[in-house]
Structure 1
Amino acid sequence: MIRPVFGILVFLAIFHFPATESRRHQKTTSGIEFSALNCRKHSAVLTDFGGVGDGKTSNTKAFKKAISKLSQMASDGGAQLVVPPGKWLTGSFNLTSHFTLFIQKGATILATQDESEWPVIAALPSYGEGRDETGTARFNSLISGTNLTDVVTTGRSTVRDSTGGINSKRSNSCTNTLIEDCHIVSGDDCIAVKSGWDQYGIKFGMPTQQLSIRRLTCISPKSAGVALGSEMSGGIKDVRIEDVNLIDTESAIRIKTAPGRGGYVKDIFARRFTMKTMKYVFWMNGNYNSHPKGYDPKAFPEVSNINYRDMTAENVTLSASLDGIEKDPFTGICISNVTISLSAEPKKLQWNCTNVAGVTSRVKPGPCSLLPEKHVDCKFPTDLIPIESVVLKKCFI
């Protein structure tokens, strides 16, 4: 059983992986400097709550007990939980507000294969029903939470399912979120951006917006570096993605949608990508069919104002597969300053385009006729989303 690492609904969050934080008397974390939204007043270590890092003992109760205790300090300067070096086997647990989860260098969180430690909970209202063969319910994600504020997950960390594969991050209906300095190896999309499923997502109407992803390294041979959709029915907008390194990854940014989704994917901005060994560079799919009962096939999505610039790619099989929807084309696509070097056995047709419209500039190999050459530099916003304007504090242990 492989569960997604994150399914977090947040309104002020930062996912950051450069350092650690802990109590002063813990020798394993002494002398550490780190950046954070707030320097927490209270600290604890997982071992204080019975945690055992031997890779065999379940730590689900220890995580839950620790976070429950530390949640009581939310209004008194917040709290942080340190996961020290070791292999920490666990089932699902929820985070809390005004909280930092630090996974120290040398610490690995292992997702248990014991299904009893994955609680079945009500489906998100933006999904209406589960997608885990649980009827109108769903399995909780490994590290999860809803309606959270001021949450930091940080450290030099590893999070794996217990068969060894590192899972991805998921952003479901999040506003004002920063994901930075992450190294992810995944059997699925390294980062998946979603906002609800078909009629349920349309009705709930809570988009993912003001999302910044930067300094990401991703290895995902069978999926995307960043996926937008396919459950995007509440809308996805104002996403900035920059300084990304992709290695042996199926595609860079993949937009997935279909008739019946409704919603929109718009105002997407990406720049400064370096890619090596890719099946696709650009991939958009308007026929990603996986629907709940009762969906409206006439609920067409909007895909518009998609901007990619300043990218290089080596050892590529297919430069682009861009397939919009008949009578509902993807529009406002802009690709500029992109150089793609092909693999030893590339596809003969390098740009496969249907039902799309836009422009390109200084792109090699030359794109399809639906994206004609025009001397432009594709947009990337000069303003910052609110969380990017936050001055992080220097905290010390």
Structure 2
Amino acid sequence: MALIYRPSAISTHLVATLLTLGLINVSIIECRRHVSGGSDVTYPAINCRKHTAFLTDFGGNGDGETSNTEAFRTAVQNLSQFENDGGSQLIVPPGRWLTGSFNLTSHFTLFIQFGAVILASQEEGDYPLIEPLPSYGSGRDGPGGRFSSLIGGSHLTDVVITGDNGTIDGQGSIWWSKFHKKKIKNTRPYLIELMYSNQIQISNLTLIDSPTWHIHPVYSSDIIMQDLTIHAPVDSPNTDGINPDSCKNVKIQDVFVVSGDDCVAIKSGWDEYGIKFGMPTEQVIIRRLTCISPDSAVIALGSEMSGGIKNIRAEDITAINSESAVRIKTAPGRGAYVTDIFVDKMNLHTMKYVFWTTGAYGQHPDPGYDPKALPKVDRINYRNVVAEDVKMAGNMGGIEGDPFTGFCLSNVTIGLSAKPKKLQWNCTEVSGVSSNVTPEPCDALVDKGSIDCEYPSDPVPIDMVQLQTCSFSTQKKIIQYIIFLHFNKN
């Protein structure tokens, strides 16, 4: 994959190290810019827009100090009248645009230009409190509600958040400090959260330092997230990269994540609340993901998976200095299932574990969960895995009386670190088969000679979506008369 070098997100030393390892290719930022003749900017999107406005048309000030919360909210409100007239796009020009939480509208594009930074306010009052998610029943940081995400929306159709390498900066350090000091009673804001929505695209952006998860689509479908750099300090709490949650038909492609938590986490609700809500995450493709996360997983399945997780594909995955590759996390009380998981071609460097599953991930929203609600884990396929500098090949545990079954590992070569663990495979309450695996796996993964674990050959539905070439002019234009009138009434 070609990684776009962004000095604000990745240190020169890190890039040099990855180049030495031959793990990335660096392109110049301007190669990502889609500039045609004159002053037109072109970009790929699921749909183009008939109407265009700039944030400055609504009083925006990009000095990095003036609040633009009302400018963003007013812009979206005014542009929402074009939902049924070809849609609209709001252009964020170069500058540093400080803002609190704001929501988007349908048939809408938020385009963050090269040199533009949407800068998240660090004031709690700029993030209205909302109720916990119905499939969680509680905030993740505490029993209270949730702070609104920086960029949000609910019950929307056809939403694009994109740019030519613009940046969204969550300024999360103050939130991390409050979390560590246990001064947070409500769940920290996400950078982007879209709920109950469909036809979503998030692409060609740099996202940094979210207060907690960076991108969280939930109860949504038909989602494309691609060409993204996501970066947070590796010791920052819960700064997951991308977390599809009770979502269907999702593509995560050409993404580079440095994180203090899981780079990608597939979720679907928490204990009795997720069981009752009953919305799985399914039909997901993760392709050409590169991850650095020393204390967490490259791809996590769970631990909140009580609506079910199924039909997940991951291919061409690269990890550097991460705790584990694909980790399954669940516990009694979760219920539901993790099944039909297919992984092909992982290239792993400096890992604590390659294969890691646990049935004892025991954090619960409240004491009301049912300990007899046991999850079913079955049909988990890994093939074509190369790893080096690994402490332990496999730490695979199920639940007593509820074993995890149907594992398949084929064509796996694991090179150990200078000081590996003495026990390379720890397998309890799991079963499956293996073929051509080094070092030799545990007896629970029965050697079947020469076999190839399953990986579907049919296309995933989201790959059928064809992006259009859209554009806008960077020359200042007079905003549409109807917007002008409405804006000046206020």
TM-score for the superposition, normalised by structure 1? 0.86
Alignment check: 8 A CA contact 2:333 2:370 kept: yes
Alignment check: 8 A CA contact 2:353 2:393 kept: yes
Give the helix-richer structure, 1 or 2: 2
Are positions 1:276 and 2:284 aligned together? no
Alignment check: 8 A CA contact 1:100 1:153 kept: no
Q: How does 1:35-50 map to 2 (within 5 A)?
A: 35-50=44-59
Q: Which runs of 4+ in 1 moved over 6 A?
A: none
Are positions 1:365 and 2:374 aligned together? no
Are positions 1:155 and 2:204 aligned together? yes
Partner in structure 1 of residue 340 of structure 2: 267
**What secondary structure does 1:181 align onto?**
strand
Structure 1 residues 134 and 296, CA, compared in 2 at 3 Å: closer, same or farther? closer
C-alpha separation between the residues in 1 aligned to 2:336 and 2:346? 27
Moved more, 63-72 or 310-319: 63-72
C-alpha separation between the residues in 1 aligned to 2:131 and 2:342? 34
Q: How does 1:126-145 map to 2 (within 5 A)?
A: 126-135=135-144, 137-140=145-148, 141-145=190-194
**What secondary structure does 1:252 align onto?**
strand
Q: How does 1:323-342 map to 2 (within 5 A)?
A: 323-342=397-416
Partner in structure 2 of residue 235 of structure 1: 308
Alignment check: 8 A CA contact 2:191 2:210 kept: no
C-alpha separation between the residues in 1 aligned to 2:140 and 2:287? 30
Alignment check: 8 A CA contact 1:67 1:96 kept: yes
**What secondary structure does 1:199 align onto?**
helix
Give the strand-richer structure, 1 or 2: 1
| Structure 2 unpaired stretches of 5+ | 1-28, 149-189, 213-230, 234-238, 473-490
C-alpha separation between the residues in 2 aligned to 1:364 and 1:391? 41
Q: How does 1:1-397 map to 2 (within 5 A)?
A: 19=32, 30=39, 32-135=41-144, 137-140=145-148, 141-161=190-210, 165=232, 167=239, 168-291=241-364, 292-374=366-448, 375-397=450-472
C-alpha separation between the residues in 1 aligned to 2:341 and 2:407? 10
Deviation at 1:368?
1.1
C-alpha separation between the residues in 2 aligned to 1:134 and 1:63? 30
C-alpha separation between the residues in 1 aligned to 2:92 and 2:387? 37
C-alpha separation between the residues in 2 aligned to 1:351 and 1:57? 56
Percent of residue pairs bearing the same amino acid type: 57
**What secondary structure does 1:172 align onto?**
coil
C-alpha separation between the residues in 2 aligned to 1:51 and 1:184? 30
**What secondary structure does 1:372 align onto?**
strand
Letter in 2 for 1:359: V
Deviation at 1:64?
3.1
**What secondary structure does 1:66 align onto?**
helix
Deviations 1:233-285 (A, max 9, x none): 00111111112221111111111100000011111111122111111111111
Structure 1 residues 88 and 336, CA, compared in 2 at 3 Å: closer, same or farther? farther
Moved more, 272-281 or 300-309: 272-281
TM-score for the superposition, normalised by structure 2? 0.71
C-alpha separation between the residues in 2 aligned to 1:343 and 1:331? 29
Letter in 1 for 2:360: N
C-alpha separation between the residues in 1 aligned to 2:444 and 2:95? 53
Structure 1 residues 241 and 76, CA, compared in 2 at 3 Å: closer, same or farther? farther
Deviation at 1:319?
1.4
Moved more, 182-191 or 36-45: 36-45
C-alpha separation between the residues in 1 aligned to 2:193 and 2:34? 20
Give the RMSD, CA atoms, in angstroms.
Answer: 2.7
When the two structures are aligned, how many residues end up with a matched partner? 376
Structure showing greater Rg: 2
Letter in 2 for 1:392: L
| Structure 1 unpaired stretches of 5+ | 1-16
C-alpha separation between the residues in 2 aligned to 1:176 and 1:72? 29
C-alpha separation between the residues in 1 aligned to 2:111 and 2:345? 29
Between 1 and 2, higher relative CO (CA 8 Å, sep ≥ 6) is seen in 1
Letter in 2 for 1:94: N
Structure 1 residues 379 and 113, CA, compared in 2 at 3 Å: closer, same or farther? same
Alignment check: 8 A CA contact 2:191 2:211 kept: no
